[in-house]
Structure 1
Amino acid sequence: MPKLTVGPWIAAQKLPSKALGRDRFAFLERTRLRHELQQVVGLPLVGMGGSCGKPCFALPYVLTWTEANTQALEDVAAEHSCYVEYGLYPHLKQHDGDLEVAAVQDWTTFAMVYLRPGYDHAEELLERLATALRPA
């Protein structure tokens, strides 16, 4: 699978130039695109990471971390030449260069995956995470 196919849609959301930073009408025009539901591997795009700028996808279940699903997370990470860094929530980082390719958040109402859109196997990784972390 490729990089995220919603990459152009994501790019269209961002401020195209500093000169438009105070242009309310340009902002309103960009936000009209948000009314178009975007999905990748059947998972809805629910927003962008405020600090990281990565697109965020909602998983169709609530996630509670356990020994079994953290091991599954590490297995998926290994498939993608990554390791898991356990901070506030788990991040998948590449062994070569420590580049963060994904992060998984658990909340009481739903779980979500933040994904680096330029990662060459982004859609495959999203699909694997959704499958591997699905509660039994």
Structure 2
Amino acid sequence: MPKLTVGPWIAAQKLPRKNLGRDRLAFLERTALRADAQQVAGLPLIGMGGSCGKPAFALPYLLTWTDENTRRLEDVAAEYGCYVEYGLYPHLKQHDGDLEVAAVQDWTTLAMVYLRPGYERAEELLGSLAAALRPD
């Protein structure tokens, strides 16, 4: 499976040069791209992490963490050469180098997955997480 196909779409919205940081019109030009709704693995892209810039995808269900679904999360992580770091919410990090490739957030009204756009198996991982975390 490929890296996230929305990578170029995301990159086009980031600040290309520091000197454009105060250019309101350049900002408006970049954000106009957001009108073109994006999907990956059938899940809508709903935004990007504030400081990290990782794209966020809405899961089509609410998520409440349980022993069972955290075990399934750990199984998915292992399948992708990762472990789960449980902080405020779970992060999948590669065993080799501790690179964060995904995070799963649960809110009372929304569940979402953040993915590293350059991760080689990002789209496949997104589909695996959506399937594994789906409530019974």
Q: Same fold (TM over 0.5)?
A: yes
> For this pair of structures, how many residues does the alignment match?
136
Is residue 2:51 matched to residue 1:51?
Answer: yes
Amino acid paired to 1:62: L
Separation (CA, whole Å) in 2 of partners of 1:65 and 1:51: 25
Question: 1:19 aligns to what?
Answer: 19
Question: 2:70 aligns to what?
Answer: 70
Separation (CA, whole Å) in 2 of partners of 1:49 and 1:36: 18
Q: CA deviation at 1:52?
A: 1.5
Alignment gaps of 5+ in structure 1: none
Question: 1:96 aligns to what?
Answer: 96
Amino acid paired to 2:128: R
Separation (CA, whole Å) in 2 of partners of 1:20 and 1:9: 19
Separation (CA, whole Å) in 2 of partners of 1:48 and 1:74: 24
Question: 1:114 aligns to what?
Answer: 114
Alignment gaps of 5+ in structure 2: none
Separation (CA, whole Å) in 2 of partners of 1:124 and 1:63: 20
Q: Give the 3-state SS of the residue equivalent to 2:12 in structure 1.
A: helix
- Sequence identity (%): 82
Separation (CA, whole Å) in 1 of partners of 2:30 and 2:52: 20
Separation (CA, whole Å) in 1 of partners of 2:45 and 2:125: 15
Separation (CA, whole Å) in 2 of partners of 1:95 and 1:117: 18
Question: 1:133 aligns to what?
Answer: 133
Separation (CA, whole Å) in 2 of partners of 1:88 and 1:108: 15
TM normalised by structure 1 equals 0.99
Q: Give the 3-state SS of the residue equivalent to 1:78 in structure 2.
A: helix
